[in-house]
Structure 1
Amino acid sequence: MEKAFDHLGIAVRNIDETLPFYLHVLGGVLMDRYTAETKGVEVHVAAIRVGDMHVELLEPTNRESPIARFMRQKGQGVHHVAYRVPNLEQAIEEAKREGVRFYEETLRINARGRRLIYMHMASTSGTLIELCEYP
């Protein structure tokens, strides 16, 4: 199945302090801004287009969110790489046939309708990879 780069998720302490760099220095355009309140997500998101690339700044909304835990361990920076697929269920099944494991609890629809799941980092040599499908 064809996969295409979709976005980078970047963990930040404060979106308002980080946005000027992406907007003014890199020349990005703020496409959307929202809060995901789903348990196990809890994050403010700023979606930015920089050229033909999409970046999501992710600011945790509580100390126990996955982004907050990530930043305690690794600091700010790239949290995940996302790839768009035309059919999420099919992409999951194909990957599982190749021995890829998933964080099954991450399968969900986000606040903007994107369906997604994260691959287990043991299957990806340590990189958190999201597969996503748009409605």
Structure 2
Amino acid sequence: MEKTLDHIGVAVRHLDDSIEFYTKVLGAELIDRYRSEKVGVESEIAVMNVNGTTTELLSPTNNTTSPIARFIKQKGKGVHHIAYRVNHLDQAIEELNKQGIRVMEETRRINKHGRRLIYLNPADTGGTIIEYCDYPNLRGENDAKEN
């Protein structure tokens, strides 16, 4: 199955400072800013576009339960995950299972933009946090255009 880079997630301590750096130094455009208090997310997210490349800035909203807070505590701020877009998330998960790569089922969700996502188990990826995602609404539009 084809995979393309969708975005890079960056763990930050101070979202406003990071947005300022991305906009002023990198020339990024702030696409969206939202908060998710869902268990296992508990983050404020700023979606930045730098010349067609998406970076998600992730700041914890709960310093005891947020996975971003745990990440910063263990590894410090910086690149948290790399997300790859796949055509069909469920089929991609089936392929991973056949290859013996585990996914973290508790991370499966749909974000506010309709992106379906799941994280691969870092124990099976050499320690890198990798997200697989798809956009079923866009896929439906693209499928209709092909017919």
TM-score of the superposed pair, with normalisation by structure 2: 0.89
Query: Which whole-Å CA distance do the structure 2 matches of 1:123 and 1:38 have between them?
Result: 26
Q: 1:24, CA displacement in angstroms?
A: 1.0
Query: Which whole-Å CA distance do the structure 2 matches of 1:115 and 1:38 have between them?
Result: 15
Q: Residue 61 of structure 2 aligns with which residue?
A: 61
**Count of residue pairs brought into register by the alignment:** 135
Q: Residue 103 of structure 1 aligns with which residue?
A: 104
Q: Residue 114 of structure 1 aligns with which residue?
A: 115
Q: Residue 35 of structure 2 aligns with which residue?
A: 35
Q: 1:27, CA displacement in angstroms?
A: 0.7
Query: Which whole-Å CA distance do the structure 1 matches of 2:5 and 2:129 have between them?
Result: 14
Structure 1: 4+ residue segments shifted above 4 A: none
Q: Could you give the per-residue CA deviations for residues 113-133 of structure 1, whole angstroms, max 9, x where no partner exists?
A: 110000000111110000001
Structure 2 stretches lacking a partner, 5+ long = 138-147
Give the root-mean-square deviation of aligned CA atoms: 0.8
Q: Residue 49 of structure 1 aligns with which residue?
A: 49
Q: Which has the higher helix share?
A: 2
Q: 1:86, CA displacement in angstroms?
A: 1.2
The secondary structure found in structure 2 opposite 1:113 is coil
The percentage of counterpart residues that share the same residue type is: 56
Q: 1:49, CA displacement in angstroms?
A: 0.6
Q: 1:87, CA displacement in angstroms?
A: 0.4
Q: Residue 132 of structure 1 aligns with which residue?
A: 133
Larger Rg: 2
Q: Residue 13 of structure 1 aligns with which residue?
A: 13
Query: Which whole-Å CA distance do the structure 1 matches of 2:67 and 2:130 have between them?
Result: 14
Query: Which whole-Å CA distance do the structure 2 matches of 1:85 and 1:44 have between them?
Result: 25
Question: How do 1:84-99 residues align onto structure 2 when only pairs under 5 Å count?
Answer: 84-99=85-100
Structure 1 stretches lacking a partner, 5+ long = none
Query: Which whole-Å CA distance do the structure 1 matches of 2:37 and 2:87 have between them?
Result: 26
Q: Could you give the per-residue CA deviations for residues 89-134 of structure 1, whole angstroms, max 9, x where no partner exists?
A: 0000011111111111101111221100000001111100000011
TM-score of the superposed pair, with normalisation by structure 1: 0.97
The secondary structure found in structure 2 opposite 1:62 is coil
Q: Residue 2 of structure 1 aligns with which residue?
A: 2
